Amino acid sequence: MAATKVAKKSIGMPEIRKKAEALGITPGKLKKAELIHTIQAAEGCTPCFGRSNGQCTNIDCCFMNDCLKLQL
């Protein structure tokens, strides 16, 4: 069974927008989950935010804390 490490702090929209812009993504009016999915895809990751059903093996993901709280 894989260990799950949860980040202590949620990442806010200003930080998410800044991360998106650094990747050349224009946040526009994208909702949080949509923007995170776009960021994940741009980084070469599976756009899985909010789809983990409380289980995630990607312990290095900066979105993990919010992801585990959310179900899309």
DSSP state of 12: P
Domain residue spans in the chain? Answer: 13-69
pLDDT at 5: 52
Going by pLDDT thresholds of 50, 70 and 90, the confidence category of residue 66 is: confident
The sign of the torsion formed by the CA atoms of 48, 53, 54, 55 equals: negative
Q: What is the pLDDT of residues 13-62, one digit of tens each?
A: 999 999 999 999 999 999 999 999 999 999 999 899 988 887 888 888 88
Does residue 4 carry a pLDDT above 70?
A: no
How far from 50 is each of 5, 11, 24, CA to CA, in Å?
A: 16, 14, 23
The tokens for 56 are 């995630």
List the structure tokens of 17.
């927008």
Place of tokens 């290095």: 60
pTM summary value: 0.81
Place of tokens 């799950």: 4
